[in-house]
Amino acid sequence: MITIDIRSRIPIYEQIYKSVCSDIARGVLKEDDKLPGARTLAKELGLNPNTVAKAYSMLEHDGIIYSAAGRGCFVAKTSDGGAHKRLENELKSKLREALDGGITHERITELLDEVQNEK
């Protein structure tokens, strides 16, 4: 479910954040699904629990998950599309960067087709 790449330049807490958002967007995680506890996930991934706690805190701040005292963290109601919105905003940012860097609209379309065909 939650995956990280320790060789990536992206901070681990951001990778956890993005992984949870991606799982929600793809329907792997649904409303009110319980997430693993921060300590449990940290142990599974070989991380400091504070790293996982930071990711969960960001997810909660953005309304993507909620916490219930003594019960853990759960996927929040997705009617506002929080996880989708975050992914869309990141995609828009990268598309602007690509266009500004000289990559043509046609090439972006080709790349999108390539990615879709890989699925």
- What Cα–Cα distance (Å) separates residue 90 from each residue in 1, 10, 50? 21, 13, 25
- Domains of the chain: which residue ranges? 12-75, 82-118
Categorize the per-residue pLDDT at 118 as very low, low, confident or very high, splitting at 50, 70 and 90: confident
pLDDT in tens, 68-112: 998 999 999 865 566 667 778 888 999 999 999 999 999 999 999
12-25 vs 82-100: helix crossing angle, rounded to 10:
110
Is it true that domain 12-75 has CATH number 1.10.10.10? yes
Average pLDDT over the chain reads 90
pTM over 0.85: no
